[in-house]
Structure 1
Amino acid sequence: MLLTAWVVETPYRVPMDIVIAGSRGLIGTALVDLLRAQGHQVRRLVRGSAGGRDEVPWDPARGHLDVGVLRGADAVVNLGGAGVGDKTWTAAYKRTILESRVGPTSLLASTMASMDVPPRRFLQASAVGYYGDRGSLVLTESTGPGHGFLAGVCTRWESAADPAREAGIGVAHLRTGVVLSRQGGALARLVPVLRTGLGGPLGRGDQYWPWITLADEVAAISHLVSSDVSGPVNLSAPVPVTNLELTRAIADQVHRPAVIPVPEIALRVALGEFGTTLVDSQRVVPAALEDDGFVFRHRTIEDGARWAVGR
């Protein structure tokens, strides 16, 4: 139902040949479905053996990517990277977070740069973590990087695409916020807690949390595939909200209160360094997307929560 609605309402595009890395995650799976429904041809880069006709193996850890895979492609989309909240941030796992992003991005960018006729577009995942903790400051794509581990990761992640940019390829960095979907992501952890009636805001709750529904996320990426927008692109809803406002909107959809805050110290004890990022404030707005004519389906958190959680 999600994809059908967007196919109907998205203007017709000339079919394109698109290569996607990181296609098995929440965003990648939905994006592949949408692009195919729109008539595009999609090939998926996968680690290990190919399991289907549309899958092509690569090994970014060893620097292996057959340049022939990219020949004829109009666009390449890279969504890969180890989950930042999947494990405790030990020194080893922080290296994994960084290397799983910079290495594959660098390999794709340098391979495309070596081609006589490279793809026209390279859409590279990034994150709003680029901005660090910025309080109530409104953050557009022209805002510089913040401080902290994730800001450093995002800065190096985006820089890894420089060879493609220098070769004349249109590179867009997808600075994505919290993706709301009933299929998984942050809501998979939040909703069960709220259903018990014991959930609430994280820390004080006044920190801004950039959010976007999965429907808008993949529609925006589809839009950017055929767009001329380059550079950073904030993938977040147009109406920023605080963590408290987001939590209450989700709680309303499961008909439970959201009044029991999780103390910041508890986040640090339970989640370590990652827990401190959950109280970072990023008041992000999608200036580049809206300037390019993209229309969000879910502009307010009430609409987003209703779509992602409501029945």
Structure 2
Amino acid sequence: MIVVVAGSSGLIGTALVARLRAEGHEVRRLVRRAPRNPDERTWDPDAGVLDPAVLAGSDAVVNLAGAGVGDKRLTPARKQVVLQSRTRTTGLIARTIAALDDPPRVLLQGSATGAYGYRGDTRVTEEEPYGTSYLAEVVRQWEAAAAPAVADPRVRVAFLRTGIVLAPSGGALGRLLPLIELGLGGPLGSGRQYWSWISLEDEVRAILHLLEAPVSGPVNLTAEPATELEIVRALAARAHRPAMLPVPGFALRIALGQFSEEILGSLRVVPAALTASGFAHAHPTPEAAAQYVLG
């Protein structure tokens, strides 16, 4: 296949591009600077510039572009960056696809489990409506920006509602793993809140699966949810370290501001559509993920 990837330099995008190439697919990477490699194509989402020829002749587009929600404190200005980095890229890609005479047949559009807000212990499937949290509103506008492609009967659009990605380096564990390996890891807040998580390996495998599987609409990219404490304990056990020292919720709120809601809020999202499509996780449990993350 010829696959166009936006957001190819992030944690998921980097791993995805490597896997696509390893499996023999041709990749076109969208970059916001002058091309440095033969597989790169320039675009400018802020200016609304994307040459239709970049998408023409491709089989699929995977859009993972967007500023990190937890990378910086969520000031009003940063919130605008987070939102616009998603809606502008998604809208530009969707409009360009819909205007093509022969568009790619698949758009896998990045999204997040934050769409549902915080639901406590309730098991949440793709049938649930949007929540009312900050991130839920971001996701609502993010997914809405894909409307031109969704309305095109020639294109299958799936929204990759990704959970917390567990990887050997970077991502959600980038700051937590060093503490765990020093024996300083422990529950964040009560530790009883559910985390909707997936290993990086399974995230990439799921995206490749969805390039072919006839699935449209929201798709929860998660494994079976676990509590934050279960995940931390699995990682600590694999590292042969204790997981005793709790981090109080008020300390997280001081350190992380509004983003602490994403750490302390409980969201139990299950991969109903992904499982129904025939996907099998390589790392279905926190223990399996810990072995993957920590070798």
What do residues 2-60 of structure 1 show as CA deviations (whole Å, max 9, x unaligned)? Answer: xxxxxxxxxxxxxx111000001111111111111111111100111111000000000
**Aligned counterparts of 2:259 and 2:169: Cα–Cα separation in 1:** 23
How much does 1:180 deviate? 1.0
Q: 1:210 aligns with which of 154, 179, 196?
A: 196
What is the RMSD computed on CA atoms of the aligned residues?
0.9
Q: 1:45 aligns with which of 12, 26, 30?
A: 30
User: Which secondary structure does the structure 2 equivalent of 1:278 belong to?
Assistant: helix
Gaps of 5+ in 2: none
User: Which secondary structure does the structure 2 equivalent of 1:179 belong to?
Assistant: strand
**Aligned counterparts of 1:21 and 1:276: Cα–Cα separation in 2:** 28
**Aligned counterparts of 1:197 and 1:213: Cα–Cα separation in 2:** 22
Length-normalised TM-score, structure 2: 0.98
**Aligned counterparts of 2:58 and 2:81: Cα–Cα separation in 1:** 29
* Alignment map for 1:123-138 (pairs within 5 Å): 123-138=108-123
What do residues 270-303 of structure 1 show as CA deviations (whole Å, max 9, x unaligned)? Answer: 1111112211111111111110111111111100
How much does 1:197 deviate? 1.9
Q: 2:84 aligns with which of 99, 105, 110?
A: 99
How much does 1:195 deviate? 2.1
Is residue 2:57 matched to residue 1:68?
Answer: no
User: Which secondary structure does the structure 2 equivalent of 1:232 belong to?
Assistant: strand
Identify the residue that residue 173 of structure 1 maps to in structure 2: 159
**Aligned counterparts of 1:74 and 1:198: Cα–Cα separation in 2:** 47
User: Which secondary structure does the structure 2 equivalent of 1:113 belong to?
Assistant: helix
How much does 1:183 deviate? 2.8
Amino acid at match of 2:165: V
What do residues 188-213 of structure 1 show as CA deviations (whole Å, max 9, x unaligned)? Answer: 21111112222211111111001111
**Aligned counterparts of 1:108 and 1:173: Cα–Cα separation in 2:** 14
**Aligned counterparts of 1:249 and 1:131: Cα–Cα separation in 2:** 26
Is residue 2:45 matched to residue 1:85?
Answer: no
Q: 1:200 aligns with which of 172, 175, 186?
A: 186
Q: 1:275 aligns with which of 227, 250, 260?
A: 260
User: Which secondary structure does the structure 1 equivalent of 2:209 belong to?
Assistant: helix
User: Which secondary structure does the structure 1 equivalent of 2:174 belong to?
Assistant: helix
User: Which secondary structure does the structure 2 equivalent of 1:141 belong to?
Assistant: coil
User: Which secondary structure does the structure 2 equivalent of 1:271 belong to?
Assistant: helix
**Aligned counterparts of 1:230 and 1:305: Cα–Cα separation in 2:** 31
**Aligned counterparts of 1:265 and 1:187: Cα–Cα separation in 2:** 20
Length-normalised TM-score, structure 1: 0.93
**Aligned counterparts of 2:174 and 2:256: Cα–Cα separation in 1:** 17
Is residue 2:89 matched to residue 1:111?
Answer: no
* Percent of pairs with identical residues: 56
Runs of 4+ in 1 over 4 A off after TM superposition: none
How much does 1:120 deviate? 0.3
User: Which secondary structure does the structure 2 equivalent of 1:53 belong to?
Assistant: coil
Is residue 2:39 matched to residue 1:54?
Answer: yes
**Aligned counterparts of 1:30 and 1:103: Cα–Cα separation in 2:** 24
Identify the residue that residue 137 of structure 2 maps to in structure 1: 152
How much does 1:231 deviate? 0.2
Q: 1:34 aligns with which of 9, 15, 19?
A: 19
Identify the residue that residue 8 of structure 1 maps to in structure 2: none
Identify the residue that residue 234 of structure 1 maps to in structure 2: 220
**Aligned counterparts of 2:283 and 2:262: Cα–Cα separation in 1:** 25
Q: 1:219 aligns with which of 205, 227, 231?
A: 205
User: Which secondary structure does the structure 1 equivalent of 2:260 belong to?
Assistant: helix
**Aligned counterparts of 1:172 and 1:20: Cα–Cα separation in 2:** 15
Query: How many residues align structurally?
Result: 294
**Aligned counterparts of 1:135 and 1:274: Cα–Cα separation in 2:** 17
How much does 1:220 deviate? 0.4
What do residues 135-175 of structure 1 show as CA deviations (whole Å, max 9, x unaligned)? Answer: 00101111111111100000110111110010121110001
Is residue 2:288 matched to residue 1:303?
Answer: yes
Gaps of 5+ in 1: 1-15
